[in-house]
Structure 1
Amino acid sequence: MTQQTNSGNIFGGLSESRKMEIIGILIMAVGGLLGLSIITYDPGDFAVIQSLSNDSLFALDQGPVLRVQNALGIIGAYLAQFFVHLLFGYMSIIVPFFIISYGWFIFRDRDTSPLLWTTAYGIWSMVLFSTILGWMNINYDLVSSVWSGSSGIATAQGLQKFTAPVGSIIILTVFFITTLLAFLDRDLQQTVERCKEWIAGIKASFAEWKEKRRQRKEAKRKEKKQQEQQQKVEQQRKAERQAQQRTPKETQPQQQSRQEPERKEQQYQEPEEQDEGEDDSQSIADIVAKSQKQDRERIQQEKEDVQSLENRPRADIEKNKVAEAEEDDVDISVYVGEGDEQADEKELDKQNKDKAKEIPRVKYKFPTIDLLDSPPNEGNDVDLDEIKENKRIILDKLQRHNIEIRSINAIVGPTVTLYELDPAPDVKISKIESYANDLKMATAAKGLRIMAPIPGRSAVGIEVPNGARETVFIKTVINTKKFVESDHELPLAFGKTIENDVFMVDLTKMPHLLIAGATGSGKTVGINTIITCLLYKCHPDDLKFVMIDPKKIELSLYQKIEDHFLATLPGEDEPIVTDTTTAQETLESLTKEMDERYDLLKEGMVRNIQAYNEKFDNGELDEEEGHRHLPYIVVLIDELADLMMTAGKQIEEPIARLAQLARAVGIHLVVATQRPSVNVITGTIKANFPARMAYQVASKVDSRTILDTGGADQLIGRGDMLFTNGGGMTRIQNAFVSTEEVEEITDFIGNQKGYNKKYELPVLQDESSSGGDIPDPLEDIDELFESAAKVIVLHQQGSVSLLQRKLKIGYNRAGRIVDQLFNAGIVGPYQGSTARDVLVEDEEELEQVLDDLDEFER
């Protein structure tokens, strides 16, 4: 019993990581020795070890044992006989390879789950290839049995017995092709598409080679033809000289002056072939006449081409040109944006794995991209007939009012098409804008918006909804290089613009976001998009959410990530705040958290949360003095109107304070409402939210309330929105996140082991307590109560952070001591960001108060 305890103590002295390293090394050693025995297999070894007696078996330095060729000796011979001869031949080398891989992963303390697919694929490949080699050994004796093993030959014999040689080779070929495709990519459809792209690339290269070859032949043909033409010109000149000799001398100067320009023209024009019997002078005159006519036509055509190029407006951005049509005298060019380049299917997951390893405080796996729904294969086809019809209606309506348009560019987006009009120089832009309702009626559009002019462009824009709109799936937004390679602290990818570009911003730069939209316009889906983007890019050490949902159902799905991402008040059972009173306490607690963070930044002598966390992570700030890692806190309020109706000023004040001051300490607000009226979005709140997002609203008044301009009333719902950050206005189609996708993401995170302790916000002091009475909390006075009172009186500052620094205690304990000092009448009530007043002036008065407390206790 004593020996067991001692041995347990020996192993117990090792850390968990050291134990795993030792186990990993042992497993790699076993795999290496097994691989060595397989590689050095000799068919004669088994016959040798079968002939050994018990005595000679242990005589390793003499006798038959020395005839064993295996590098691992007798044990290696047995192992090689089992794996090579009985199992799958030399293909069994895959087994020690995987043993070494598992040992390496254990040694490096990595998750071995990624090896499961590779292991299953390797075992299947081992069986398949040994069977193929066994089939070749049975039918053609092409390979030795040591490559397939007895099991490979037996499998091939069984397959051939049931399906005949032809059927067995067809089955094995199909298995080989599918295994090869699975090796290239687990998604067979994607592999097929890649093969099709490869074949298409070969065809395109072949077509390009043919075109170059044709061009070379054409160049040689033209060169040959030019040489022939030069010979003909020389013959014509010779004929002219002969004709001049036959002409009377008095007419020679006149004819020479007439023929001189004719010769110049002949140098650049193709002469027509002459009949042998035709007169030389007559053929020359015909050639000159035809060349002059062709020259006039060519010059006229060049003038028209130059004029059309000068009148065509320049494109402001590079797009794919889909079609170009000309009707009457106005051109229309149709463009569809290429969109952002899609990232590799596993690129985001790989980056997140590396990021999770860099933060050792908790073992966490980021949600994978596979949890999101893939968009359907069919794309959004451009309806050219619809575009041409809208172009005809717009031109007809404007021409009736004597508004001349020189050209139109149509930019096709997921939801709307932007028609860029290039008006004549004498047209007033305000005149076009005044006909918005006429154009809306003429096009029968649900919502038509005019931008006169388009910001940054010398054109007027008319946005007309598409007849068939495209759904932007969240996967096509998140799985782009723009999002994956982003270095934003809190990246938000809302959706796609009209140009099909992913619209992405950094919440830390905004720094707060105000969202408004009528019921059913896509407001809650937009909030889910924001949360999804943050969950895919942020570690729970660096981000916490405070979710306030008066409707009680919209954000309820996120209860599952409580242990990882949610910050709550101490003692609260519900992680999602749904009660108005609790919401008020939570917001006031956030203001207290903000004040404490500013104290920490002041002590750390930094200006923002990034610099503070960098100092703390580098060990420049002492944790014993109250310093801690500060995660970003994103406060989500799904319905502000309900809170303002029930609490009013009590809700408005903490929101306004947070909006004014919380940016530097990493607290950011995302506030949404379906009623953007002035009594909900007050001037105090609105002034501190430069970033605003508007979905479809009911009236122009609501649009002006949220955006300070019209336009949101002309949106068409289902995620169609306008975004502004104090500058121009951007129209975006919000990315769609389904409820099922949210459930899969939250389940994936919630099933992981979370933090032992939730992230708690500061406790608020109950101001109704009076300092004159000695209430129950003084029955359990902290042992540092006296020391804390002396520190407070000495510095004349009733601050929790002061006690943290001087007494080297945590925040919660310092807060309880301050509460006890308040109940004892030593400090005053809570005053927000300002330190409490100290009611005791010196140490003598403090001694009197402490003596009174001792008498009361006795």
Structure 2
Amino acid sequence: MARKKVTPESNVRQGPVLSPNRKVEIIGILVMVIAMLIAISIITYEEGDYSIISDTEISTVFQGDDVSVNRVRNGLGLVGAYISHAFVYLFFGYLSIVVAIIGFQYGWAIFRHSPLAKLQWPSFLWFSGMALFATIIGWINIQFDLNLDNFFGVAGLALAQLMLTITGMYGSAILLGAFLIILILLLIDRDIQLTIDRIRDAVASFRDWMDQKKSDRKIAREKAAEQKAIQAEEAARLKLDEESKRPNLTSANTISNANDAGHQPNTSNRGIQPLERKRYVIADESKPADAVKPPDLSDEGNSEKNSPLPISAERERWIKEQAEMKEKIMPDRALMEKEEDKVRNAGYEDEIQIKVYVGEEEEAAKARDLEREQRAQSIPVIKYQFPTIDLLDNPPLEGNEIDFDEIEENKKTIISKLKMHGIEILTVEAIVGPTVTLYELQPAPDVKISKIESYANDLKMAMATRGLRIIAPIPGKSAVGIEVPNRKRQTVYIKQLINTRKFVESKMALPVAFGKTIENEVYMVDLTAMPHLLIAGATGSGKSVGINTIITCLLYKCHPENLKFVLIDPKKIELSLYRYLQKHFIATLPDADEPIITDTAKVMETLTSVTKEMDDRYDLLKMGMVRDIRSYNDKFKEGKLEDDLGHRHLPYIVVIIDELADLMLTAGKAIEEPIARIAQLARAVGIHLVVATQRPSVNVITGTIKANFPVRIAYQVASKIDSRTILDTMGADQLVGKGDMLVSTSGSMIRVQNAFVSTEEVERINAFIGNQLGYNKPYFLPKVEDPNARDSGIPELDDRDDLFEEAAKVVVLHQQGSVSLIQRKLKLGYNRAGRIIDQLYAAGVVGPYQGSTARDVLIADEDELLEHLRDLDA
């Protein structure tokens, strides 16, 4: 094996002694050391040191002849005496140590490779504070002669003298106080308005706390008074019971003595007897004779009319009546048993008490909480103002009252209907929501849950309602749930969700507040955690309003620098209002004519471009050695990624497809591939899909699409089959429409009332944003080759499709060269029709690709086509 020849050039080529990063770290360490030395010299400052070194010549110091240098007390010796004199005496006194602090911060930032721009504002505040406090101390020293020279220096004294000369004592005091207040406000928040809002909120919170304390004390006093009243009532009752026992004893003795003497007891002396609950007993042959005793017909009166009959005659009459009653009852034994059950169960529904729970409203945000949070997310790239809460409609002033009569009536109907089928209910609890009320039933231990589910239609008929849904059992509870629609529904307005602390103070990247749950809680999710959303619902069920809710929430929470939309609307009317967002929030193709994609021929190109954007972003994450978009943007913001390598700030991209069924009908399986790729891979790079359809059939929501959308929302659908297609279970067919929806997340099911967003609100929000100055150009998606245009790879004409000639005749006949025409006329798939178009272009039948418009047909009629084809074969 030959040895590798070592050339002199190979010996010369060696790496640098120190890498650039190492050099930067060394510079950072040196800056921090210098800052610490300056701090030591300032701390160990002595007034007499400078007078010693000022009389000393430098040459004598190096020769060692001057003994006076040894008397310098500064911690850094001669150098420290010079430095401390410059900072303490000439500059701002001991406050000049701020310079050392700022220097140390810059050294640490250099050592950590952090961007120095982040330190500009804090350094300005530190330096301003040093100068201001030195001036204030100098002003106080002039006025009161406190001998504080080392705390303000010559510079601080000069500033104080200047202010006193110009504005006098009172003017300078007012100005210094104003400057101090401004400095404190800027230290708290860079935006002074935010600080004022915080102070206002703190005062309001303190006032609320005081009011709460007063209310708690008032409630405590009322409880104490109530407790005393209960104790007094209890004592009075015990006293009454003791008094009532004494006559009983006397009566008992009297009766005993009367019986001993052979006389009838004196019933007029009987004491008070406790009341007993009324009972109903029906005679039965199986019971012993003594189970039904003859009535005591003796009376207390002494008149002749009420005098007792002889015992034998009375008993004979009673026996005769019992026999007649028995003859009447025996012929209809079934009727007797039915009446017996009716009497036995009388009042059964009333005995079971129902507990009604109403979820508390989410705490409303303060006056300027939303504006403060929005300003905190502002990015100084463009001057952008977030939409204000005033653009949303206010909910009606009348409160949402609870109909307790309706709840009690429904409870009785449910219990009685289940009792008729032999299902005993032990407890009932009702949770009142905006659309439905959930009745939580705890059945007897011997009841099968499936038995309750089988009577859903019976309950629906008995309650004369639609949309009743049985949850058997409720996840996490030993109870069965029955959701019954409220007769009077409560509308949930979008303003009630956005103006809550839960939404305003949320730290989610893409927060979406859909509506309210049965417990009256705001249902809010992070779109980045979903990470994609599949929506289905019939016409009028609230699906389009749900899409508007998603967009509205994101517009109120996200800056245009951090969010872009790709809006695909084959129906051309649902998302057209958002065209005004083109300068701020819309991502589009470079050659797109409209910001909202309505042409189905452009959809494939757009989705392919999104997949190309996804691949490009993964390359950037790989170069940046991070795993997700949030870490990448943080690293880019800190200046750790170089711009010349293609690194840039990556906004989140939300792709919204309003009607998937129409796209599947026109593009077929070809549209499924980019949707599946985006759903599988795009989460880490910040691209998220929201796909909606009216018809959730298996032809539209295929297995590939369904498998990659773990979170699905179902509004009211037409059938149980549609419900199973979207949710893998029944239930969506039982919804009541108008925003009533089921959210399926990882096996759990939540019923939510979608918030209502009116068209007028959407128009106001879009006009507010559209009237602002936006970016110079929209966010362009990468340019990709259109699937119809394959000019670079023209197929061989020898390998023509079997339907090539027939397709050529169709194109010439209609004078339109498009893939969709061949699909419709020849009933072909998208890919095969695209290949035929490429072959027709190679054969010179049609012209090149022209974007969203059809290709030009280069042949006028069929005769010319036949001649052209013969020339090709030749």
> Judging changes above 3 Å, is the alpha-carbon distance between structure 1 residues 464 and 214 closer, same or farther for their aligned structure 2 residues?
closer
Residues 150-549 of structure 1 correspond to what in structure 2 (within 5 A)?
A: 202=214, 205-206=217-218, 208-209=220-221, 211-212=223-224, 215=227, 327-356=349-378, 359-549=379-569
Shift of 1:437: 1.1
2:504 and 2:386 map into 1 onto residues whose CA distance is 13
In the alignment, the residues of structure 2 paired with residue 403 and residue 218 of structure 1 have an alpha-carbon distance, to the nearest angstrom, of 40
Question: In structure 2, what is the Cα distance between the partners aligned to 1:689 and 1:75?
Answer: 72
In 2, are the aligned partners of 1:560 and 1:746 still within 8 Å (CA)? yes
TM-score by length of 2: 0.56
User: Could you tell me which residue of structure 2 aligns to residue 314 of structure 1?
Assistant: none
Matches of 1:425 and 1:107 in 2, distance apart? 65
TM superposition shift of 1:363: 3.4
Check whether the contact 2:655–2:687 (CA below 8 A) recurs between aligned residues: yes
Change in 2 beyond 3 A, CA 1:116/1:424: closer
Alignment-derived partner of residue 690 in structure 1: 710
Distance 1:329 1:182 in 2: 49
* Equivalent residue number for residue 702 of structure 1: 722
Question: Are the counterparts in 1 of residues 566 and 653 from structure 2 also a CA contact under 8 Å?
Answer: yes
Query: Where does structure 1 lack aligned partners over 5 or more consecutive residues?
Result: 1-14, 34-70, 81-92, 118-180, 230-268, 283-292, 298-324, 774-858
In 2: Cα distance, 1:491 partner to 1:760 partner: 24
What is the CA distance between 1:75 and its match in structure 2? 8.5
Aligned to 2:659: 639
**Per-residue deviation, residues 260-307 of structure 1 (Å, max 9, x unmatched):** xxxxxxxxx9588989xx99x99xxxxxxxxxx99999xxxxxxxxxx
Aligned AA (1:523)? K
What letter corresponds to residue 724 of structure 1 in structure 2?
S
**Partner SS for 2:656:** strand
Q: Does the CA contact (< 8 Å) of 2:188 and 2:195 recur in 1? A: no
Offset at 1:209?
2.5
Deviation at 1:690, TM superposition (A): 1.1
Residues 501 and 294 of structure 1, relative CA distance in 2, 3 Å threshold: farther
Conserved in 2, the CA contact under 8 Å of 1:346 and 1:369? no
Kept in 2, the 8 Å contact 1:637–1:671? The answer is: yes
The Cα of 1:213 is off from its aligned counterpart by 5.6
Q: Which amino acid aligns with 2:376?
A: D
The equivalent of 2:592 in structure 1 is 572
Spell out the pairing of 1:713-724 with structure 2 (5 A cutoff).
713-724=733-744
CA distance in 2, matches of 1:566, 1:72: 54
Query: Do the aligned residues in 2 keep the contact of 1:372 with 1:474 (CA within 8 Å)?
Result: yes
Please say if residues 345 and 479 of structure 1, whose CA atoms lie closer than 8 Å, have aligned partners that are also in contact: no
The answer to whether structure 1 residue 582 and structure 2 residue 602 are counterparts is yes
Residues 204 and 556 (structure 1), Cα distance of their counterparts in 2 relative to 1, 3 Å cut: same
Return the alpha-carbon distance in structure 2 between the equivalents of residues 98 and 489 of structure 1. 39
Larger radius of gyration: 2
SS of the residue corresponding to residue 783 of structure 2 reads coil
* Cα shift readout 1:690-735 (whole Å, capped 9, x = no counterpart): 1100001111111111111111111111100000022111100001
**Distance change >3 Å, CA 726–CA 294, structure 1 → 2:** farther
One-letter code of the match for 2:566? V
Contact 2:189 2:195 (8 Å CA) reproduced = no
Helix, strand or coil at the partner of 2:654 = strand
Give the aligned CA root-mean-square deviation in angstroms.
5.1
Displacement of 1:665: 1.3
Q: Does 1:597 align with 2:609?
A: no
How far residue 98 of structure 1 moved from its aligned partner, in angstroms, is 9.3
Q: For the Cα contact (< 8 Å) 2:567–2:656, is it kept in 1?
A: yes
What is the CA–CA distance in structure 1 between the aligned matches of 2:184 and 2:217, rounded to whole Å? 45
Paired with 1:273 and 1:465, the residues of 2 have a C-alpha distance of 55
- Measured against aligned partners, the alpha-carbon deviations of 1:435-474 in whole angstroms (never above 9, x if no partner) come to 1111111111121111111111111111110000001111
Q: Which whole-Å deviations, capped at 9, do the CAs of 1:302-345 have from their partners, x for residues lacking one?
A: xxxxxxxxxxxxxxxxxxxxxxx994332221111114333323
**Inter-partner Cα distance in structure 2 for 1:424 and 1:772:** 75
Instruction: Note if contact 1:345-1:369 (Cα within 8 Å) is conserved in structure 2.
Output: no
CA distance in 2, matches of 1:584, 1:592: 12
* Contact map agreement 1:721 1:733 (CA 8 A) in 2: yes
Query: 1:769: Cα distance to partner?
Result: 2.0
Using a 3 Å threshold, how does the CA distance of structure 1 residues 326 and 613 change in structure 2: closer, same or farther?
farther
Q: Aligned in 2, Cα 1:771/1:731: closer, same or farther, shift over 3 Å?
A: closer
- Equivalent position SS for 1:389: helix
Q: How much does 1:587 deviate?
A: 0.3
1:91-102 mapped onto 2 (5 Å cutoff):
none
AA partner of residue 769 (structure 1): D
Asked whether the 8 Å contact 1:326–1:332 carries over to 2, the reply is: no
Distance change >3 Å, CA 76–CA 651, structure 1 → 2? same
SS in 1 for 2:523: strand
Q: Quick check: 2:435–2:489 contact (8 Å CA) kept in 1?
A: yes
Whether the aligned pair in 2 keeps the contact of 1:495 and 1:503 (CA below 8 Å) is: yes
Give the structure 1 partner of residue 309 of structure 2. none
CA distance in 2: counterparts of 1:634 and 1:707, whole angstroms? 23
Unaligned runs of 5+ in 2: 1-116, 136-161, 255-271, 277-346, 796-874
For residues 294 and 615 of structure 1, what CA distance do their matches in structure 2 show?
A: 86
Post-superposition shift, 1:616? Answer: 2.0
State how far apart, in whole Å, the 2-side matches of 1:224 and 1:682 are: 76
The one of 647, 662, 669 aligned to 1:649: 669
% same residue: 61
TM-score (norm. length: structure 1) = 0.57
In the aligned structure 2, how far is the partner of 1:546 from the partner of 1:685? 19
Equivalent residue runs for 1:58-77 within 5 Å? none
**Inter-partner Cα distance in structure 1 for 2:611 and 2:728:** 28
Correspondent of 1:671 among 691, 715, 720: 691
Deviation at 1:757, TM superposition (A): 2.8
Instruction: Identify the match of residue 758 of structure 2 among 727, 733, 738.
Output: 738
The structure 2 residue matched to 1:729, chosen from 728, 749, 752, is: 749
Tell me the distance in 2 between the aligned counterparts of 1:414 and 1:642: 34
Give the CA deviation at 1:225: 13
Q: Is the 8 A contact 1:692 1:706 kept in 2?
A: yes
Q: Does 1:770 align with 2:782?
A: no
Preserved contact between residue 542 and residue 632 of structure 1 (Cα < 8 Å): yes
The one-letter amino acid of 1:386's match is: E
SS in 2 for 1:328: helix
1:819 is matched with which residue? Answer: none
Alpha-carbon distance in structure 1 between the residues aligned to 2:187 and 2:471: 63
The question of whether the paired residues in 2 share the 8 Å contact of 1:563 and 1:754 is answered with yes
Shift of residue 100, structure 1, vs aligned partner: 10
Name the CA distance, whole Å, in 2 between partners of 1:502 and 1:108. 31
- Give the aligned residue type for 1:433: E
Change (3 A) 1:73 1:434: closer
Give the residue type in structure 2 aligned to 1:349: E
